[in-house]
Amino acid sequence: MGEFVNLETDSGIGTIRLERPPMNALNRQVQEELRAAAAAAAQDPAIRGVIVYGGAKVFAAGADIKEFTTATYQDMSLRATALSGAFDAVARIPKPTVAAVTGYALGGGCELALACDWRVVATDAKLGQPEIRLGLIPGAGGTQRLPRLIGPARAKDLIFSGRMVEAEEALRIGLADRVAAPDEVYATAQEMLRPYLDGPAMALRAAKLAIDDGLDRDMQGALAWESQLFAGLFATDDRVEGTDAFVAKRKPSFTGH
């Protein structure tokens, strides 16, 4: 699909694979290829779940800092928005998503993992937002998605200090959902997605929209949004199949429509 980012499909799972050795640094080209891969995964009906994976050795060690050394405010006012938008494209894939994290997920790499619904991390993985050590702050979702995930106090600890978090701490504070041996991370991510691959795709999409978009609304607005999405599912074939199967006391056979 691209020079550094590819989308592979197998048995309902789409894998967005970063391939820019040695550290999968997130330069402009990776950014745009990632955006394109996310859009393709979102639109392909054969893909029912998505894994973001950097390979067996490293997820992504962050931005390509060489691009920062000569950058101006004018440059980065445009670049930061574009990078954040690429990660948002991943976050808005209307299907279950898992980041399969091996090695380092730092800076932009950690922000990319945060854009997924769940994170499986290797026992030797290290995650963090070290931008403060460059005189910067996270600029592609870290200051927003991280506190929503682990709470503001813990997020401030990581962002203010720039320290790295190992797998067990990541699991304890909610930054990781599962920990696996390095050679089992990808398989564990597949295992997490399998229960949803033959599920009601439109209902899963609605549930994700209700949760993610509802977090940015006040309670009254969020409840109205939920009601709208709930009602919309009565136009789907899977809702008919699901309710009919329940009444008939049989297992439903969803088609994703």
CA dist list (Å): 66 to 37, 61, 211, 240: 25, 13, 37, 55
Considering the candidates 111, 168, 184, 226, report the single residue annotated as catalytic: 111
**Which amino acid appears at position 227 of this protein?**
S
Exposure of 219 by Cβ count < 10 A (0-12 exposed, 13-18 middle, 19+ buried)?
exposed
Q: Is 8 a catalytic residue?
A: no
| Residue 169 DSSP SS3 | helix
The DSSP bridge partners found for residue 180 are 122
Residues 6+ apart with CB under 8 A from 188: 100, 120, 178, 180
Q: Is 131 a catalytic residue?
A: yes
- DSSP codes, 143-161: HHHHHHHH-HHHHHHHHHH
Considering the candidates 3, 32, 33, 131, report the single residue annotated as catalytic: 131
Q: Which residues are catalytic?
A: 111, 131
